[in-house]
Structure 1
Amino acid sequence: MLPTRRPAPLDSDEWLYEPAYGGVRVIVDVTPGAGPGHVRIRAAGGRDVTATHLAVVEALATLTRRLKAPVRLDGELVGDALVAFDVLADGPLDVRPLPLVARRARLERILTNVVSPALRLSETSPGDGRALYRRAAERGVTAILAKRADSPYHGGRSGDWRVIAVTRRRRPAAAPRARRSNASWARATHDGALPRDPERRRIVEALVEIEARGGHGALDLGEGRVLDVTHLARVFWPAVGVTKGELMRYYTRVAPWLLPAVADRPLVMQRFPQGVGRPAFFQQHAPPAAPPWVRVETLPSDRVVPSRLVGGPLPTLLYMAQIGVIAQDPWFSRVASPDTPDHAVLDLDPMPGVRFGRVVDVARWIGEALERLGAPSVIKTSGATGLHVYVPLAPGTSYTSARLFCQLVATLVSARHPDVATSERAVDRRGRRVYVDFLQNSRGKTLATVYSARASAWAGVSTPLAWDEVTPALDARDFTLRTIDARLARMGDLWARLRAARRFDLETVAPGLLDARRLKSSA
């Protein structure tokens, strides 16, 4: 499928916008298995160029080992990298008749945790290409692409993909950069105000000093606890220049507000040893080399994972950041009561091509539905593109009951607003809607906790909101590692409302309806 040079709007919900990479267009076939021969790269006319792009083949090796069925990708070779922007076949299924947003969702799933410098996912901006256009103009790029969100994949040229010419802008000449000493660099950090607490202030200052000296050193955490830290100067978020050291300083500053949300809860880790956009992996079990002062627990009913990290103290939080864990993902229940969650959660996840404003709409409808049911609720950003709505639960509530209650709310909202919201499990059937996920309410499932950093390109933070902030003006990208300190100073800890809220008894919705024992067979 090739684009045409025809006018297209720069601001429309009907379109997705992408950079024009200017590379060599290729089709890539990837089949399951280890060893050579599982990747084939073909350029125009079917010419096989696999042998001349071994870096891409090596990057795709991770995918070949993970796949259960073949996939066919569409993309461009840009330098020594493959930029993938579409998928044509997923296993035995020809996905070309599917709308672009559904194919994009499949592509993101296929490439989860396998992207690398030689294998990238194309940037996409749903509904609004103006920022992409401005950036292209500033960089002297001559075009961007507009793709109709509901378009199937056609052979040849199609008006569903269009080239938008970019008018160049002259960039002012950059002033010469003075060479900084380590001391001046430390003074120029992007950190918020130093903590008032002397111990946390000392740790922040020590982290700044270690990063300025090259990023490797011993961090004194007090009480005889020493953490060997490495690569603090490594840029973890390339798009915004946030380093690993800055992540650790951020967590030290917000610890008083974050740690209560993870205290006594098992944690699931997603580790990014080299930062965002590089290979990552999930880990359930506690690392064997965890220091003795990091809390590790074995749950009596846990037959799969022998031991888990448990949240609580600052040293555990910093140890996890040191081993590349960006987000804090706790269970909804605690170690002492693993089968009874403290809260139920509705996770609002926009499908590709859906603006954040639609997520805001669905969140408000959910808030109204919960209010009608008499359920207290608090809301936060996910730190990426979604929103999370929490309902505090009465002690002893089961996961089954929490899940059924959230399913009820999700179904009510989706039925009332079927063009915007869906609780459909099958990705291909969700369309360009906001997925209201109630299935997170299960033992062992997690979401990024409040004040957790996220692996979003802009270094987002999962941030609590007041309900009156949930308006069309809300922009999730406003909440980052570099903006939360000022917000906390201005608004305080809005998440304290969850801890102080009335615990909701689900029996008040419909007595007996949500009794987990009676509904166990239907869960």
Structure 2
Amino acid sequence: MAGQSGAGLDVYNEKRDFSQTAEPRGRKARKAGRSFVIQKHAATRLHYDLRLELDGVLKSWAVTKGPSLVAGEKRLAVHVEDHPLDYGTFEGTIPKGNYGAGAVIVWDRGTWTPVGGDYAAGKLEFDLKGQKLSGRWHLVRMRGKRGETRENWLLIKADDDDARPDDASDILSERPESVKTGRTVEEVAQGAADKPKPAKPKARRSRPRDEAAPAPRAKKTPMPGFVEPALATLKPAPPTGAKWLHEVKFDGYRLQARLERQEVKLLTRSGLDWTDRFGAEVTDALRALPADTFVIDGELVVETGAGWSDFSALQADLSEGRNDRFVFYAFDLMYLNGYDLREAPLIERKGLLEDLVGSDPGRVRFSSHFGESGSMVLRHACRLSLEGIISKEADGPYRPGRGKGWIKSKCSARQEFVVAGYVPSTTGDNLIGSLVLGVNDGGALVHVGRVGTGFSRKIAGELRGRLDDMRIGRSPFAGKLTADEARGVRYVRPELVAEVEFRAWTADGILRHASFRGLREDKPAAEVVRESGPANGQPRPQKRRVTLTHPDRVYWPDEGITKEGLADYHAEVWPRIAPFITGRPLALLRCPGGIDGQRFFQKHVWRGMNKHIARVKDPQNKTGEPLVAITDLDGLMGLVQSAALEIHPWGSTVADWERPDTITMDLDPGEGVSWNAVIAAAQEVRQRLADAGLGAFVKTSGGKGLHVVAPLVPKADWPAVKAFAKTLAGAMAADSPDAYVATIAKSKRKGRILIDYLRNGRGMTAVAAFSPRARPGAAVSMPVGWEELDQFGPVHFTVKNTPNRLAALARDPWEDFRPAAHPLTVKAQRRKG
């Protein structure tokens, strides 16, 4: 509101009833600083509140669409009343009936530095150093219109190294969570009855100690030799209580960083010197930290996608000699500038470490923590397809070895195994097809099964060459293998350690649905034991009865996903995908040589087709070749055996060919269209369907766009459904010709979204929910909740991470899909009202 900033905090206080809201009272601070905060606020309309500390208050702007990292992109920022500095830590729910009612999270925070301009003159140029935003920014006041009561500004990202290109992913979608607690604004809203618990402060508590010591119980000593690392104990659930801090579990190499006499060393958890393996960038960044000596515990990772660490990508980069993506996350500090800190409380050590590393997102980064409930932090990590979390006692010392002070909780079963043999590939010479694995138990090596997916062709070749040099003439396992277990195995010295992700153990202790993640050369084979085992009450796996020939054939080369891996994926998601693909005519994208080989669409039966795939006759084409369908999991496995990488069902069933039970509107963005624009288009389709009395559900397409899907009570015929979809698409294109087109011609689609209604004609298809796409990355067409759309990019969900997401979901966003079906009774609107 115009002029409100001059009223100090009076306006802020007048608008709030502090007997009802937990927001802090407005008091001007005496101490000057340069903090900034951005709070995501789900009020009547979702927006982001930018607040800059100036003159003892937080100058505030409501940024309606949130900040953009695209240089030059203007975002409206409405100037609102000043807020007190204490508001910068506020996170929670403002009760209904109060000003600004809704959930609030601390989306980003840090410091800002003025560079030019003048606030009073309506122009600010400044640098941000936050956990999500950084670099140069501009705030410019717009010239007000006559009679306008609000003061409009523009927030603009400067063109610098922190800016992103137009087609880059959106930071708002990448990082929806609070930097304070890790919660999303939706999670805060759902827990409105619970008073938010702030994260543990990094501030060091005052207690009697040597004034020169950096922390309580710190000791002045010479720098120690290699410090045996603290290890976490695996538990099925994170611990509870305020005494615990929770950190993201990284997916990389655990390393001890040591600085002494300006020399940096990186040691593995067993003390091996791996300094030269990672290039100079990380060691140079460590050397540049403001310290004379230190011993830091951390993890070196490669981040992919929206900032998540990926051990397979780290392995690939090391194999290729690539080091431009290496990042070292520091999570503990054992020694600093002549003081041994191992007896100091963890919260003190982390405070010193954060001061040392800083908040800049460089090659060395501080691993922050959350003081919220461990179960909530784990749930959030799993929904984002992370590996899990580590919970640590806030007051605990640093203790070498595996103890009770550090607890790890995982989103999926994953651990290291001893490589005891291999089976040669059936698809190429000098490649491995699978690894034979074991664990140590009381001095004996026990067989736990095989892993046959997760290898790229290059990794399969490198492993074959290495293992051939390690071959031995007899089994290293203590017990005798069965004939099936021993078939084709070539045994090797049990010296290498493989990290493997798997879904569960069978009742007899064999891995199920295992996927190779990489070799762990930082851990001796002798230390590998079973971390968890068969559990009573586990859900029984879907039984596969179809024999796969060449199960090690690689379908997605870069991801190392084989025919066996695709079969495992489909068995895992069978209860979810079945309603969308059984009992329907199907079109299949078959890729016998994988995504880089020959590909063709298959609608009709073919010679040699697997017996579990059904033949169905089109009643309108009785003399033509039968079409294909499936009725059960065996049929789906038959499709996998036939190299069907994509599954595209009709919108009607074989029980009712002529009356569709589904409408699918495909939103296909042209060049230069942002993900936010696609989301907005989906929301508009949703509203138009609602206006017609239809429910609307949304899924990613597995490509660049979204599918909005409406379930129907099958009463209308194909011509009526297609006409409805065509009218809806045409209305959107007519109402917003700069944003949408309804014609296929690519020449008209640049900067616009195609509203593709042609999926709704007889014999036309759309990719099924949960079906993979035959494209690099192995993305999946994923059903999502409408509230999730700004949290993920278009190809976030993949064959690899989808099972973890499904296991972490508290509620299936499409569970009401069929109950929401209604008959099509009205025509789509041609114009907006």
TM-score where L is the length of structure 1: 0.57
Aligned positions of 1:189-338 closer than 5 A: 189-193=500-504, 205=512, 227-302=546-621, 305-338=624-657
> Take 2:784 and 2:697, find their aligned partners in 1: how far apart are those partners?
8
Deviations 1:437-491 (A, max 9, x none): 00111111111111111113111111111111123x3312321112222222223
Shift of 1:289: 1.9
Against the structure 1 CA distance between its residues 292 and 242, is the aligned structure 2 distance closer, same or farther, given a 3 Å change threshold?
closer
- Please say which of residues 303-312 and 274-283 is displaced more in the overlay: 303-312
Q: Which one has the largest radius of gyration?
A: 2
**1:203: how far off?**
12
Backbone CA RMSD of aligned residues: 4.0
Q: CA deviation at 1:226?
A: 5.4
- Taking a change above 3 Å as real, the CA distance of residues 457 and 338 of structure 1, as seen in their structure-2 partners, is same
Find the aligned partners of 1:10 and 1:389 in 2 and give their Cα distance.
34
Deviation of 1:324 (Å): 0.6
Relative to structure 1, the CA distance from residue 140 to residue 493 in structure 2 (aligned partners, 3 Å threshold; closer, same or farther) is closer
Q: Which residue of 2 aligns with 1:405?
A: 724
Structure 2 residue 488 is the aligned partner of structure 1 residue 488: no
Alignment of 1:88-103 (within 5 A): none
1-structure distance, mates of 2:781, 2:810: 15
Partner of 1:117: none
**Structure 1 range deviating more: 272-281 or 233-242:** 233-242
| Deviation, structure 1 residue 389 | 0.7
Q: Which has the larger share of strand?
A: 2
Aligned positions of 1:352-371 closer than 5 A: 352-371=671-690
2:819 alignment partner AA = A
* 1:382–1:388 contact (8 Å) kept in structure 2: yes
1:183 aligns with 2:430: no
Partner Cα distance (1:453, 1:10) in 2: 33
Q: Deviations over 1:6-52 (max 9, x none)?
A: x99885665799xxxxxxxxxxxxxxxxxxxxxxxxxxxxxxxxxxx
Task: Please report how far the alpha carbon of residue 342 of structure 1 lies from its aligned counterpart in structure 2 after TM superposition.
Answer: 0.5
Tell me the residue number matched to 1:478: 796
Matched to 1:286, the amino acid is V
Partner of 2:350: none
Aligned mates of 1:422, 1:318 — CA distance in 2: 39
Check whether the contact 2:664–2:766 (CA below 8 A) recurs between aligned residues.
no
User: What amino acid does structure 1 have at the position aligned with 2:617?
Assistant: T
Residue 507, structure 1, aligned to residue 826, structure 2: yes
Against the structure 1 CA distance between its residues 297 and 202, is the aligned structure 2 distance closer, same or farther, given a 3 Å change threshold?
farther
Equivalent positions of 1:14-163 (< 5 A) are 139=322
SS in 1 for 2:760: coil
Q: C-alpha displacement at 1:285, in angstroms? A: 1.2
Q: Deviations over 1:294-344 (max 9, x none)?
A: 321222212574112212200110011111101221111111221211011
The reply on whether 1:384 has 2:638 as its aligned counterpart is no
Q: 1:340 aligned to 2:680?
A: no
Deviations 1:256-304 (A, max 9, x none): 1111211210111111111112221111111232344432122221257
Match of 1:497?
816
Change (3 A) 1:444 1:11: farther
CA gap of 1:267–1:292, structure 2 versus 1, over 3 A, is: same
Q: Which letter maps to 1:479?
A: F
What corresponds to 1:349 in structure 2? 668
Q: Residue 193 of structure 1: CA displacement?
A: 4.5
Matches within 5 A, 1:453-468: 453-468=772-787
Give yes or no for contact 1:235–1:275 (8 Å, CA) kept in 2: yes
Q: 1:292 to 1:236 in 2, by over 3 A?
A: closer
Structure 1 residue 360, shift from structure 2 partner: 1.6
Shift of 1:369: 2.3
Q: Is the 8 A contact 2:616 2:629 kept in 1?
A: yes
Aligned to 2:709, what secondary structure does the other structure show?
Answer: strand
Contact 2:727–2:828 under 8 Å retained in 1? no
How many residue pairs match? The answer is 342
Distance 1:372 1:290 in 2: 45
**Number of the residue aligned with 1:83:** none
Cα shift readout 1:385-410 (whole Å, capped 9, x = no counterpart):
22111112232211211112112222
Equivalent residue for 2:329?
none
- How many Å separate the matches in 1 of 2:566 and 2:167? 35
- Greater helix share, structure number: 1
2:621 maps to a residue whose letter is: D
Shift of the 178–232 alpha-carbon distance from structure 1 to 2, 3 Å rule, reads same
- After superposition, the Cα gap between the structure-2 partners of 1:403 and 1:8, relative to the gap in structure 1 and judged at 3 Å, is farther
For the Cα contact (< 8 Å) 1:194–1:253, is it kept in 2?
Answer: no
Structure 1 residues 395, 254: CA separation in 2 closer, same or farther (over 3 Å shift)? same
Distance 1:456 1:204, change over 3 A: farther
> In structure 2, the residue corresponding to 1:496 is in which secondary structure?
coil
8 Å contact 1:16–1:353 — kept in the other structure? no
Contact 1:346 1:438 in 2 (8 A): yes
Aligned mates of 1:360, 1:454 — CA distance in 2? 21
Where 1:493 maps in the other structure, the secondary structure is coil
8 Å Cα contact 1:346/1:389 also seen in 2: yes
Residue identity opposite 1:485 in structure 2: P
- Once residues 368 and 485 of structure 1 are traced to their aligned partners in structure 2, the CA distance between those partners, rounded to angstroms, is 31
CA distance in 2, matches of 1:178, 1:372: 60
Aligned to 1:333, what secondary structure does the other structure show?
A: coil
- Write the distance in 1 (CA, Å) between the matches of 2:321 and 2:162: 17
> 1:231, 1:202 → 2: CA distance?
25
Q: What letter is aligned with 2:685?
A: I
Name the stretch that deviates more: 305-314 or 342-351: 305-314
Counterpart residue type for residue 477 of structure 1: V
| SS of alignment partner, residue 361 of structure 1 | helix
CA distance in 2 between counterparts of 1:477 and 1:375 reads 27
Runs of 4+ residues deviating >6 angstroms? 7-10, 201-204
Q: Identify if the C-alpha distance between structure 1 residues 317 and 462 changes in structure 2 by more than 3 Å, giving closer, same or farther.
A: same
Cα pair 2:715 2:824 within 8 Å, conserved: no
**Alpha carbons of structure 1 residues 441 and 234: separation in structure 2 relative to 1, 3 Å:** same
Rounded Cα–Cα distance in structure 1 between residues aligned with 2:716 and 2:505: 40
In 2: Cα distance, 1:202 partner to 1:321 partner: 27
Query: How far does residue 246 in structure 1 lie from its aligned partner after superposition?
Result: 0.8
Distance 1:379 1:14, change over 3 A: closer
1:369-428 deviations in whole A, cap 9, x for unaligned? 222333211111112222111112232211211112112222232233332222122221
Deviates more, 1:303-312 or 1:372-381: 303-312
Residues 204 and 249 of structure 1 are in contact (CA less than 8 Å); yes or no, is this contact kept in structure 2?
Answer: no
Residue 166 of structure 1: aligned partner = none
Q: CA deviation at 1:493?
A: 3.2
Q: Distance in 2 between matches of 1:509 and 1:460?
A: 32
Match for residue 765 of structure 2 among 424, 436, 446:
446
Cα distance in 2 for partners of 1:460, 1:244 equals 16
